[in-house]
Structures are given as structure tokens and as C-alpha cells.
Amino acid sequence: MAALRHGKYRFLAGAILPGLLLYAVFVLSPYAQAFYLALTDWTGVSGQVEIVGLDNFRRLVDDPLFLAALRNNGLLLLVVPAATIGLGLLLAALVNFGGRRGSTMVGGVRGGEFYKVAYFFPQLLSLPIIAVLWQFVYHPNEGVLNGVLRAVGLDFLARTWLGDPHLALWAVAGVLVWSSVGFYMVLFSAAMESIPRDVLEAAVLDGAGRLAVLRRVVLPLVRENVQVAFVYLGVLALDGFAVVQVMTVGPGGPDGSTEVIGLGLYRNAFTYGRFGYAAAMGVALFFLTLALAVVALRAGRREQVELS
């Protein structure tokens, strides 16, 4: 029996240790290198590395461009998750409960599967491709958006969407929402479809309307999905590099109005050769993302405890 137990542990060690080794080499090791480089003034080319301690982090506090990027990422964090989750829940509810009311059920709309595929389509495109497409949409003279506004007699609403410092960031936020909402619509729709039918039937038989069913029955049961969506969308909002890099003038302009942390990191590392300073930006972004995830997960856990 002891020999059998010893063989079991040896089997478990042989199955787990290779995966742990790969994880340490390809995941933990790059993190450790980034933390180390953040304490140096390495240029990315020279073999000489001087330890400067926390000087790079002190420079971040006094860097107006980094502070602007931090502000812009904060605005995206407020807008993108809320708008995407709200639209995703609305579209999922319409697909699943927006059809004709039956005798004991609230039915979905006709052709709901088609709508799911149509809304999910942007997920098949990479973010750089989406950014290029939306450059044409936002073009001030030949763009689709201004063309539609002029065609319906709303010329006064036409703007240079990516050239106006007051509008450029919101134009980027709109692209991030558009590119993400289809995925979360399908996610929330799948969660709603998994709700037991008898629960919905009981609510309808008790006289609850569509809004009451959605607010008091459906939303509490998809709370965990919303929580996960908020974390992922928060990470997207704290990044935003690909869309800003491709779409905006500068990039990051005009006047730094679309500057984000990821863009500043890229510029400092590969344009200015300040890899140590860029690594400090990466470390700051890492801890911001980690804090967001911890706060979101703890808030969700606290709500579950209160509900129970």
C-alpha cells in the first residue's frame, strides 16, 4: 500500500512539475525581468545596466504625459465596461425575452440566433483591422459617419472626430465598445438561456412584467457573468494600445488627448530607448490591473454574501 502511495505521488509530480516549469519560464520569468528592469536605466541595446532604484517610479509621478495617459485610461475604465455591459445585457435580454409573450413565458425575438452571429462578427477581426476600418468611418471628409449626418441634413453635427482633442478619446472608446459588445451579448445570452424555465414561468404566473422579470430574476442570476465581464473589460480599458496606436494622430494626439499607458510604454522603449523607464510603466500598469481585478472580485463576493 505504501509503495502504491509512493507511486501515486511520483506520478503526480511527473504530471505537474513540467507544467509548473513551463509556467515559471514563460510567465513568471518575464514578470521578474520586468520588475528588475524597472529598477535600472537600461537602454535596450547596451550591455551595461545601472541600478537606479526607484528613480524611474519617481519620474512617473512628475511625467505630465504619463499622468495624462493615466487620466485617459481612467476615463476609458469608467466608460467602456459600463457601456459594453449595459448594451450587452440589453441586447441579450431583447434576444431572449423581447419576443411575443406566450401564455406562461416571455419569448425571445424571431431570428435570435442570426442576431447573435451578426453582433458577434466583430470578434472575428483583430483590433488593428477594426481600428483601420473605423479610421475610414471617422474620416472628416469621406467618412461614413459624417456622410450619413450630411445625408440626413445634420451637417452641423459633422466633426473631425479624431482631430478634435475633446472628441478623440470618446471616438476611441466607441470603437472599443463596438468591438466588444457582441462577445458579451453572446456571453450574457448564454447565461440567460441557462436560467431554469420554471423560475421564469413562476415569475410570469405571479404577474411580473418583462422589466420586473429582467430586474428581479434574470440580472441576479447572471451577476457572476457581469462581474467577470467587468474585469476583462477593465483590462481592455487599461490597455487600449492597439486602437490608439493605429487610429489616432501622433499617435496619442491631438495634444495627448488619446495618450494611454501602453502607448507611452511602447514609445519610451522602442523610440527613445528607455527600456528601464518603460518597464516601470509596465509595472505600474500591472499593479493597476491587479488592483482592479481584486476590487471587482471582492465586491462581487461581498454582494453574494449579502444576498445569501
CATH number, domain with residue 284: 1.10.3720.10
Q: 18 in a domain, yes or no?
A: no
Q: Please compute the mean of the pLDDT values over residues 41-49 and round it to a whole number.
A: 83
List of residues 6+ apart from 250 with CB closer than 8 A? 256, 258
* 234's grid cell: 477593465
pLDDT level of residue 303 (50, 70, 90 thresholds) = low
Question: DSSP assignment of 72-112, as one string?
Answer: HHHHHHHHHHHHHHHHHHHHHHHHHH-S-B-SS-BPPPTTH
How many domains in the chain?
A: 1
The reply to whether 31 falls in a domain is: no
Alpha-carbon 211 to chain mean position: 28
Residue-level pLDDT at 65: 93
The answer as to whether 21 is a domain residue is: no
The amino acid occupying position 67 is L
Q: Which residues contact 150 (CB under 8 A, 6 or more apart)?
A: 158
Cα-Cα-Cα-Cα torsion 51, 56, 59, 61, nearest 10 degrees, comes to -140
Over the stretch 183-233, which tens digit does the pLDDT of each residue have? Answer: 999 999 988 888 887 777 777 776 666 777 777 888 888 888 998 999 999
Cα–Cα distance, 64 to 26 (Å, whole number) = 34
Inside any domain, residue 22: no
Q: Say if residues 90 and 82 touch (Cβ distance below 8 Å).
A: no
Q: Is the pLDDT of residue 102 over 60?
A: no
Q: Is the pLDDT of residue 103 over 50?
A: no
When pLDDT is averaged across residues 168-173 and rounded to a whole number, the result is 95
Q: What is the pTM of this model?
A: 0.87
Nearest to 122 by CA among 171, 190, 82, 176: 176
**32 inside domain:** no
Whether the Cβ atoms of residue 69 and residue 253 lie closer than 8 Å to each other: no
Q: For the residues 280-296, what does the mean pLDDT come to?
A: 92
> 164, 157 in Cβ contact below 8 A?
no
Residue 226 counted as domain residue: yes
Is the CB of residue 185 less than 8 Å from the CB of residue 119? Answer: yes
Choice between 296 and 133, residue whose per-residue pLDDT is larger: 133
Query: One-letter amino acid identity for 81?
Result: P
Above 70 in pLDDT, residue 274?
A: yes
Lowest-pLDDT choice from 21-35, 49-63, 64-78, 196-210: 196-210
The length of the chain, given as a count of residues: 308
Q: What pLDDT does 307 receive?
A: 47
Residue 167 has a pLDDT of: 94
Residue 266 is assigned to a structural domain of this protein: yes
Per the structure, the complete domain to which residue 210 belongs is given by: 38-307
Does residue 254 form part of some domain? yes
Contact 52, 148 (CB under 8 A): no
Return the pLDDT at 6: 58
Cα–Cα distance measured from residue 232 to residue 239, given in angstroms and rounded to the nearest whole number? 11
pLDDT of 230: 92
Closest alpha carbon to 130 in 239, 260, 245, 238:
245
Report how far Cα 270 is from the mean position of its chain's Cα atoms.
Answer: 25
**Angle (nearest 5°) at CA 291 between 286 and 295:** 155
CA distance 142 to 149: 12
What average pLDDT does range 257-275 have in this prediction?
A: 93
